[in-house]
Amino acid sequence: MAKLLFRLNNVPEDEAEDVRQLLDEHRIEYHETKPGFLGLAVAAFWLKDESQEAKARRVIDEYQQARTAAIRAEHAEQRRQGTHETLWTRFRGGPIQFVFYLGAVALVLYLTLFPFFL
């Protein structure tokens, strides 16, 4: 029976491709499922052979730790250079869109909380 190895929900395509390459390089047999119609199915990598689970988990954990460290280093570098995205830079990039979204959030909060204040 197949064993769930790695969910692909909200995973960037480059990360999914890296995981595919890692599994292929380490000769770990897997099956990939897509989200399906309306996204009701589970998009994931499934192990075909459960005896490879420990090896597969170790490989993926090492990859994710390295990816996390690289992304954190990239973010820290952007902060040092002053090029990281902040709330202020988003506002300056599109003030009308920013105010629209802020108004939409305020409207949803108002409609949600209004009955409790009556």
List, for residues 49-58, the tens digit of each pLDDT value: 999 999 999 9
Q: Which residue has the higher pLDDT, 22 or 90?
A: 22
pLDDT of residue 77: 94
Q: Does 53 lie in the same domain as 76? A: yes
Residue 39 one-letter amino acid: G
pLDDT of residue 84: 84
Q: Does 114 lie in the same domain as 62? A: no
For residues 42-51, one letter each, b for 16 or more C-beta atoms within 10 angstroms of the residue's C-beta and e for the rest, the string is ebbbbbeeee
Q: Does 113 lie in the same domain as 79? A: no
Q: Does 90 lie in the same domain as 47? A: no
Q: Which residue has the higher pLDDT, 41 or 16?
A: 16
Torsion of CA 27, 19, 10, 12, to 10 degrees: -150
SS3 annotation, 28-92:
CCEEEECCCHHHCCCCEEEECCHHHHHHHHHHHHHHHHHHHHHHHHHHHHHHHHCCCCCHHHHHH
Element of type H or E holding 17: helix 13-25
pLDDT at 41 over 90: no
**Domain range for residue 10?**
3-84
Q: Please provide the average confidence, as pLDDT, over all residues in the chain.
A: 92
Q: Does 97 lie in the same domain as 46? A: no
The per-residue pLDDT for range 56-113, each reduced to its tens digit, is: 999 999 999 999 999 999 999 998 998 888 888 889 899 999 999 999 999 999 999 9
Q: Does 63 lie in the same domain as 25? A: yes
Q: Does 92 lie in the same domain as 44? A: no
Q: Does 80 lie in the same domain as 46? A: yes
Q: Does 78 lie in the same domain as 28? A: yes
User: How many domains does the chain fold into?
Assistant: 2
Q: Does 109 lie in the same domain as 58? A: no
CATH number at residue 17: 3.30.70
